[in-house]
Amino acid sequence: MNNTADTVTITNNNSGDTVTLPLMRGTKGPDVIDIRRLYAEFGCFTYDPGFTSTASCDSKITYIDGGEGVLLHGGYPIDQLAEKADFLEVCYLLLFGELPNAEEFSRYSESVTRHTMLHDQLASLLKGFRRDAHPMAVMVGVVGALSAFYHDKLDIFDPEQRRMASIRLVAKMPTIAAMAYKYTIGQPFVHPSNSLSYAENFLRMTFAVPAEPYINSPVLSRAMNRIFVLHADHEQNASTSTVRLAGSSQANPYAVISAGISSLWGPAHGGANEAVLKMLEEIGSKDRIEEFLRRAKDKNDPFRLMGFGHRVYKNHDPRARVLKESAEEVLTELGVRDDPLFALAMELEQIALDDDYFIEKKLFPNVDFYSGIILKAMGFPTSMFTVLFAVARTAGWVAQWNEMSGDTGQKIGRPRQLYVGELQRNFVPLDAR
Ligand code: CMC
């Protein structure tokens, strides 16, 4: 492969054939080779399982530099957004590319709060689930079912209709998530209250009960807001790529977001903070930390320290520092700093940070290490952790879906394959096999 300024030439060493392909340059990050003409002119596809070397789209929404520990939305660093912005400002930024001014923010927040309620028939649908259903199963079902309520009115090529679908999804996700939780514990659903912020409203719908007044804690809602902001978008990860692929067929957006929720549910994607809690429970006490650290370092032991390391961030996770601050605030507010599980987490974090193995391999606590601790302290069961991730990530999913649907050059997704199966052969009847 020969790389000149703006093209790359590929040579087939057997046939001597060559093809010259354009290099595309973004505003930041590695260039990409435009291989769209490769098959027509060279007769080859590319091979990239997991698409880890393939840019599936161009996008203005999010930029990640894993080596430098950088995450930007619309150019704004994630720690600044997490410290200063309301989640709905970030939703607006992802969807429209700019932070809203005061008037835009007020109009956008009002449109979101106007759509927080669910059609009453959806509550009946939700009540059809088993009480012990995993809340992510309920999310997949109920969000997918929204497509039955908003089907006829949707032309995905109309930006205004896309905006409405995006607003409805952002607005209704916390209501559905809280209902999924209330249903599993047998408490009555709490309706949304439009005078509250997004995070406050969600906490109230989740934890309020009709028998006593609900007192909002600014510390807890600030931490909830941060968790939402920090999980709002992460570029072309598995669930976002699922949303783009499902949406590329022009499918109904509610069904498309339900596909994203399904992808997020997997333990390799949205389930890591739940794994942190399970690991802490397995370690059990401070005197067993050394044993588990030894196991984490042992090549022959599959055990890994959950909540440490990251596939993309190789120096630090820019989301982790602000969340550590929130973890400390929440534990103090709730008076559980001395709780054995949290004390164990803090000790484990310190020992691992001082350990040569973790220092050399640049393994540091990631966002999931702290989010699991915060959510557990707030009273969420571990089965709700991925649900909260889905509520937050809906902001990114709808923004990415909207960007894709508005791009006239976008095609229906259709990856290729390297076929390694049987050659053509003739059918043999059952009694002759
Ligand atoms: N505990 C012990 N050793 C580890 C860990 C860990 N958590 N993470 C990486 N290593 C080792 C790994 O074995 C490898 O060792 P060697 O060089 O001797 O082969 C070395 O560190 C480098 O790892 P890597 O290959 O660069 O890391 P990776 O890209 O394969 O894995 C990871 C990334 C996130 C899958 C991994 O760090 C891990 O399993 N962490 C625990 C699970 C976790 O916390 N996941 C959540 C990530 S944040 C999710 C999000 O962004 O939403």
* C-alpha 130 – ligand 1 centre gap (Å): 36
DSSP 361: T
Residue owning the nearest CA to atom 37 of ligand 1: 309
DSSP 308: B
Residue range 384-419, pLDDT digits in tens: 999 999 999 999 999 999 999 999 888 999 999 999
198 falls in which pLDDT band (50, 70, 90)? very high
What is the CB < 6 Å shell around ligand 1?
272, 296, 304-311, 361, 363, 366-368
Q: Does pLDDT of 152 surpass 80? A: no
The rounded distance, in Å, linking the Cα atoms of 386 and 235 is 18
DSSP 36-78: TTHHHHHS-----GGGTT------SSEEEETTTTEEEETTEEH
Residue range 260-290, pLDDT digits in tens: 999 999 888 888 888 899 999 999 999 999 9
Place of tokens 């009115």: 153
The rounded distance, in Å, linking the Cα atoms of 382 and 279 is 12
Q: Does pLDDT of 154 surpass 90? A: no
- pTM, two decimals, is 0.93
3-state helix, strand, coil in the chain (%, to 5): 55, 5, 40
Asked whether 43 and 51 are in contact (CB, 8 A), the reply is: no
pLDDT averaged over every residue in the chain: 94
* C-alpha 268 – ligand 1 centre gap (Å): 12
* 326 exposure class (CB count in 10 Å sphere: 0-12, 13-18, 19+): buried
The rounded distance, in Å, linking the Cα atoms of 410 and 389 is 28
The rounded distance, in Å, linking the Cα atoms of 268 and 249 is 26
Q: What local confidence, expressed as pLDDT, does residue 108 receive?
A: 98
Asked whether 327 and 316 are in contact (CB, 8 A), the reply is: no
Query: Residue 192 belongs to what H/E stretch?
Result: none
Q: What local confidence, expressed as pLDDT, does residue 175 receive?
A: 98
31 is catalytic: no
120 falls in which pLDDT band (50, 70, 90)? very high
Neighbouring-strand partners of residue 63: 72
DSSP 332-368: HHHT-TT-HHHHHHHHHHHHHHT-HHHHHTT--B-HH
Q: What local confidence, expressed as pLDDT, does residue 197 receive?
A: 97
Neighbouring-strand partners of residue 2: 9
User: Tokens representing 13?
Assistant: 């060493």
310 is catalytic: yes
